[in-house]
Chains A and B, each alone.
Chain A
Amino acid sequence: MIRIEARPEAAANMVYAAPVIAVTLTMIAGIVLFMIMGQSPGVALYTFFVEPVSTFDGVTELLVKATPLTLIGVGLSVGFRANVWNIGAEGQLTIGALAGGAVALYFYEMEGFYILPLMVLASIAGGMAWAAIPAFLRSKFNANEILTSLMLTYVGLLVLSYLIHGPMKDPDGQGFPESRLFSDSALFPVLIEDYRLHMGWLFALAAVAAVWVLFSRHVIGFQIRVIGMAPRAAAFAGFEEKKLVWLSFMIAGAASGVAGLSEVAGPLGQIVPSISPGYGFTAIIVAFLGRLHPLGILMAALLMALSYLGGENAQISLNMPNAVTGVFQGMLLFFLLGSDVLIKYRLRFGR
């Protein structure tokens, strides 16, 4: 018989041990899953987690995938700390990509140093505008931001579908629902010649640094932490909850918008019907796995990026359905949330 017993104090070391436990358990469950699917677990694990990053090219691809996850992950972590549940990052990413992409298409075949900065500003504005809706509805009408932000994700994806089948469609594209290819001035410059790793990664690192400074050095970061841990104390101290709701959504919206742009102006190079394979949702896992800490999020984003690469690789060389990635990600979050019990409680064996 196992009992759960409250610890007198939360165990700090468990905060960091839980992700390790969760990853280990996910690996074990993964082995079982691979065996059920009739794969040799050794080969499958190697294909999934080692082979994708065994070359320099693979490592740069890992960073390409980690870029949007890191950006959105740190953006969401601000709100999650304040108990603001923005789960509509996927929609904010989409609208940000569309806004930035619209600038790129407007300046089609033109050159100029000003195009990229304008695109970045537009994507930030787009992501923020989409995030502003749930922020407004929550602070003004008390509407549950989980549901509104998620509903807006579906609306955002339909906006993308409408634009790409209509106004944004390439006039010379033989009817394919894709935009024109962005001109060189409208593409994120690559960091290393001949590889796809692009400037967006620097934005991701900058976001990590900015949020780290916000939490460790700025009074607003302190207020966010207090409001998340002790809402009543925060109210007595006179912190304005509405202001922090707005701030959380604006930061996440801006970060998601840039993440969207870093896809369309990065590896994609155009607007396509499906901009993201669910980065906005995976980033939720990234934020939790990274313990809502910017550096942790960076590491978690790399791990999740690996799960995407691994899924693609397993699809190609082992003919496994790509959906395995989603199962892995879901299991990891389950195990993490389960392992978190060890922070506040301890397990007692026997009676």
Chain B
Amino acid sequence: MDGTDIVVSAALTIITAATPLVFAALGELVVEKSGVLNLGVEGMMVVGAIMAFATGVTTENAFLAILVGALSGALVGGLFGFLVLVLLSNQVATGLALTIFGIGLSALVGHGFVGVTFAGVPSLYIPLLTDIPIIGTILFGQDLMVYMSVAFAIGIGWFLKSTRAGLILRAVGENHDAAHAIGYPVIRVRFMAVLFGGAMAGLGGAYLSLVYTPLWVENMTAGRGWIALALVVFAAWRPGRAFFGAYLFGGITIIQLHVQGVGWAIPSQLLSMLPYLVTIIVLVVISRDSGKQRLSAPASLGKIFYAAS
């Protein structure tokens, strides 16, 4: 393998590893911006993964599979939304419940799909452009979902910063009582944010089972939903930084693969610990300055909203 091949393969690995995190982290970012803390990202991802995979294998239609992944993520997200927004349950506990439920449900549905493979999601091919050495494949030869993730990162940044709806969403997340007093529908805004977050987590899961592996393995998200949650904190609730953070984490997987490729005698388990350890270190570094974190976090995050009148 010569130099350019290594660069291309490294870049491709980073992109594939980062894309599911981009989806999940961006979705959760919007949810948290609306003031809701959904710890069930892992559960929504894994449900999205199996539903997309099952659809893909059954219908052999990649687009339908992606769509079903997003919808099923939104559906279980809606379950969470109903509990915390309508029945006013504790957000931390309900998020945990969503993860436990999602892992169980996906294992049940996925029972018949173990050992099956999926053909994959078609990649973009533009004559000439895709054929450019190195950057051709990296920029113009990715699958549809990678471009979607980039579009979402830009779109969400624009939505939150420059649209009226984004402003309302942020207002609800900063001070739900004030937002309610002005007449904004707090619950409805939050419910839509939660559904969107669920759909995004579902897309992240769909990417894992349709592109990354492409297989169904029980519990295959392996903590990525939780890493996405950490990424939101790392990103200080800014979409651009969340995107960057996801690619940083994608980069860690490169180290993992290359050390194994070079043939160093480091047990694979120790290398597999890297993403989790890095998440912890990142959290520590970010959280050390508690005052700063309080400034960037949405002020109503995790608080229960009950309209007395």
Contact = CB atoms under 8 A, between A and B. Distances in A.
Contacts of B233: 144, 147
Contacts of B280: 137, 143, 147-148, 151-152
Contacts of B308: 6
A122 interface: no
A324 B287 contact: no
B279 interface: yes
A165 B268 CA distance: 11
Interface string A221-238: 000000000000000000
Contacts of A144: 230, 233, 283, 287
B283 A334 contact: no
A155 B290 CA distance: 26
Q: Quick one: which of B39, B90, B96, B267 has the most chain A CB within 10 A?
A: B96
A27 B125 CA distance: 52
A154 interface: yes
A338 B93 CA distance: 11
Contact of A4 (B88, B105, B223, B270): B88
B100 A147 contact: no
Interface string B261-277: 00000010110110011
Given A154-B223, A162-B270, A323-B108, A146 B101 contact: no
Contacts of B223: 150-151, 154
A330 B44 CA distance: 13
Q: Quick one: which of A147, A288, A344, A345 has the most chain B CB within 10 A?
A: A147
A129 B64 CA distance: 48
Interface in A133-161: 137, 141-144, 146-148, 150-152, 154-155, 158-159, 161
B88 A341 contact: yes
Given A150-B226, A151-B280, A334 B101 contact: yes
B110 to A, nearest CB: 8
B89 A338 contact: yes
Given A147-B226, A345-B88, A142 B108 contact: no
A323 B105 CA distance: 7
A325 B293 CA distance: 39
B104 A327 contact: yes
A345 B293 CA distance: 33
Contacts of B222: 154
A292 to B, nearest CB: 11
Interface string B26-68: 0000000000000100000000000000000000000000000
B79 interface: yes
A284 B94 CA distance: 11
Interface in B246-289: 267, 269-270, 272-273, 276-277, 279-280, 283-284, 287-288
A337 B226 CA distance: 21
Contacts of B105: 323, 326-327, 330
Interface in B96-119: 96-98, 100-105, 107-108, 111
Contacts of A328: 104
Contacts of A85: 92
Interface residues of B, number: 48
A165 B270 CA distance: 12
B176 to A, nearest CB: 16
A78 B290 CA distance: 25
Given A165-B269, A334-B83, A337-B83, A324 B279 contact: no
Interface string A152-176: 1011001101100110000000000
Contacts of A338: 83, 87, 89
A40 to B, nearest CB: 18
Contacts of A158: 269-270, 272-273
A327 to B, nearest CB: 4
Contacts of A333: 93, 96-97, 100-101
Interface string A310-339: 000000000001011111111101100110
A326 B102 CA distance: 9
Contacts of B93: 288, 333, 337
A162 B101 contact: no
A161 B269 contact: yes
A103 interface: no
11 contacts: A137-B284, A141-B287, A142-B288, A147-B279, A147-B280, A150-B223, A151-B227, A321-B111, A326-B100, A328-B104, A333-B101
Given A142-B287, A334-B101, 13 more contacts: A4-B87, A141-B284, A143-B280, A148-B283, A151-B226, A151-B276, A151-B277, A326-B100, A326-B101, A326-B108, A334-B83, A338-B87, A341-B88
In the A-B complex, the 6 residue pairs with the closest CB atoms? A326-B104, A330-B101, A323-B107, A162-B269, A333-B97, A337-B89
Interface of A: 4, 6, 85, 87, 137, 141-144, 146-148, 150-152, 154-155, 158-159, 161-162, 165-166, 281-282, 284-285, 288, 321, 323-331, 333-334, 337-338, 340-341, 344-345
